[in-house]
Amino acid sequence: MKYVITDHNKICMGSGANHIDLAQAITGNVVSAGHFEILDGKVKVSGRSEWFNLNSKPEDAKQIEEYIGL
């Protein structure tokens, strides 16, 4: 699943959408983007957004876990 995180600590995620589409659903400037999956109860992030020229960051996993309540 794709995700974007903004400088307002907002997160948007979805499948089948472009990172730009996800970013338009929330406020702030995109500071990280990529893909994530849940393996063994933990979020694993990978990839990048070509649109925003940003790589996923290891700390994104913790933010996503908190957001979805893991």
Question: Which helix (H) or strand (E) segment is 66 a member of?
Answer: helix 58-68
Question: Which helix (H) or strand (E) segment is 63 a member of?
Answer: helix 58-68
Question: Residue 36's pLDDT is what?
Answer: 97
Give me the amino acid identity at 15.
S
**What digits encode the pLDDT tens for the residues 5-61?**
999 989 999 998 899 999 999 999 999 999 999 999 999 999 999 999 999 999 999
Cα-trace Rg, the chain: 11
Question: Residue 16's pLDDT is what?
Answer: 83
Question: Residue 47's pLDDT is what?
Answer: 96
Question: Residue 49's pLDDT is what?
Answer: 95
Q: How far apart are CA 11 and CA 9, in angstroms?
A: 7
Q: How far apart are CA 6 and CA 25, in angstroms?
A: 11
Statement: residue 70 has pLDDT above 90: no
